[in-house]
Structure 1
Amino acid sequence: MANDESLPHWVDVLGRGPMAVDEGTSDDELAAEMAERLQALLASHNGLEPTADGWRQLALELALKHEPAFQIETPVDRNGRSGIGGRPVGWQTFVLRSLMRAEMRKGANQKEAARKVARSTGKAAGTLNNVLSRRAQAPDSMRRAPFEWKAERAAKLAARKLSQE
């Protein structure tokens, strides 16, 4: 990438392939590689420290993200029993609406804003002009976030109660 200097160190470490282990691999070599990868994993989760609380937080975050028993189903999900169904709402319309509104705050009318945003994004001005003409939902990931935060708080509370803190 052109801007690798601006990326945190953990991006490179976690981007490595699987660790090669064979008969000649020593425990110390493997432990050193695993320690570097574990440190990068902690750093990638909001800079967690290798303390008891940091490891607990990492375990909870990984469980909520990857363990099927900890998955949540929210009213804004598209699939499942409580799902709203329909086509997923991504970030594209949200970003285009934001760009249009920013131009209009600078004093441009809707048509002028559509032309300016069209030049910078490559989208058709007519499409951009229509972006503001209908009510748009927030992206699915944005509407799901409050439910994910609630699950994170509940998982932390449950972990504290289990460890008798």
Structure 2
Amino acid sequence: MQYDYSKLNDREFELLGASIITKILNQRVETFKPGRDGGVDGRFWLGKNREGILQCKHYTKTPLSKLFSKLKNEEVIKVAKLKPSRYILITSKELSRLDKQKIKKIFDPYIIYESDIFGKEDLNHFLSNKNNQDVVEQNFKLWITSASVLDIIYNNAIRGRSESTI
């Protein structure tokens, strides 16, 4: 399923990213007030003193080249100062395998696995999984444009009665 991330503002995209990583890691991801964040949209802990950082880049209408430029010229400097044990990047841009390899190289040694880089396809795959529908439901701007979620709402009474009968 395809979701329209352009309907989300930057803050909503950050909160979506934090919700996704919370679900994947099965642990709380701290979020902070809007504004200059020093390269930290979310934080999680990997043991007592090992900090993990989540950064979200909501670039739906910006060319991929500008995202790469921002990562190389600004974000990597912030990450180097933070020295996280793990760095996760989420973007609303479509990414190829080669794009992920380039991003991983930019953030070496902080991005450990290419799977810690989430592009639009990864977000769609995660949100399309029935086990993750709660994340979609928390973000009404995603589900209001989703036919499958609207179908669930429309048929909720039928489903409820069927489950009760079974």
Return the TM-score normalized by structure 1: 0.23
Report the structure, 1 or 2, having the larger strand content.
Answer: 2
Report the structure, 1 or 2, having the larger helix content.
Answer: 1
Larger radius of gyration: 1
